[in-house]
Amino acid sequence: MKKLFYLMVAIAVLGIIVSGCSIPLKSVVPTSEKGDPKPELVTPTLEKITFIHYAKDSNRSKPVWDETVDIYKLMFGGIKWADTMQYEVNPDGSDLEEAEVLGALGASLETWNDAITGDFKLFNVDLEITEKGFVSGEELFEEELVRINRVTWGVLPWENAIAMCRFWFNPATKEIVESDVVFSIDFDWSVDETCSGVKMDLQSIATHEFGHNGLNDLYMPPSIELTMYGYSGYDETDKRTLGTGDISGIQELYGE
């Protein structure tokens, strides 16, 4: 009887040890029309977000607020890049010289880098030229994650849309893993400091779009003079420089 008792105890202890082993978590997904479950290993779930930047009449009345307003909005609890990121650029469709595009985009990226205290740099300003484009129109939504950050020109399927910024992020780690910007070919673009004529200032619009690497659009009236304000007008160059709220937001994410 004692041998039988000790044997039962040993089996029970062994069962506790085995049940305490670490095994991969599993998720259950349907694999047939009947919904028969099949376990498979869990992989990180990435979410895709798209921001649309619309044109607004630049002849609006002058607001009582200025760029010293300290307003900003982080995205999804503070998602951001874990390391310095880099864009590759295809200037086709901009009707600008390659050097002009790289100069304006580089200045936009450097504006954000300069606002971050400490050693961390959000952007690598040594942009790479690519011949790869970006699908336009409704096919835009079929683009898949490739973990390459691109700036391109194309046809946007939203009326009066100046540009689009789309990115993927991991909601569990709050890490951005890809960011793409598409400028609309339906607008004329300028890199001149005065941006004369009915054109969009590339450096201003790009600075806003690059700010989406952590910062959300702003729409409340006091933020109208900030870079992350959600609308832009023709001939506006104000967004080339950051306002107080823009700087506060990028500092909270990437500063010391």
Of the two residues 8 and 61, the one the predictor is more confident about is 61
Q: Are 154 and 133 in contact (CB under 8 A)?
A: yes
Q: Is residue 29 part of a domain?
A: no
- Establish if 205 belongs to a structural domain: yes
Give the DSSP letter string of 126-158.
EEEE-------GGGGGG----S-EEEEEE--SS
Asked whether residue 74 carries a pLDDT value surpassing 60, the answer given is yes
> What's residue 64's pLDDT?
72
Q: Tell me the residue type at 197.
A: G
Residue 142 phi, psi dihedral angles, 5° rounding: -95, 0
**How many domains does one find in the chain?**
1
Q: Does residue 11 form part of some domain?
A: no
**Percent of the chain beyond pLDDT 90?**
64
SS3 label, residue 16: helix
Please give the pLDDT value at position 235: 87
For the residues 88-104, what does the mean pLDDT come to?
A: 96
Report pLDDT for 146.
81
Residue 117: pLDDT above 60? yes
More confident residue, 191 or 13: 191
Q: What is the pTM of this model?
A: 0.80
Give the domain range for residue 218: 47-254
Q: pLDDT averaged over the chain?
A: 81
From 222, 221, 216, 226, select the one nearest 252 (Cα to Cα): 216
Let me know if residue 191 belongs to a domain: yes
- pLDDT band at residue 111 under the 50/70/90 scheme: very high
Q: What is the DSSP string of 30-88?
A: E-STT--EEEEE--PPPEEEEEEEEE--TTPPPPS--TT-----BSTTT-B-SS-EEEE
Identify the CATH number of the domain in which residue 166 sits. 3.40.390.10
pLDDT tens, residue by residue, 18-67 = 222 222 323 333 333 333 444 444 456 899 999 999 998 655 555 678 89
- Per-residue pLDDT of 136-145, as tens digits, reads 555 565 667 7
pLDDT of residue 195: 74
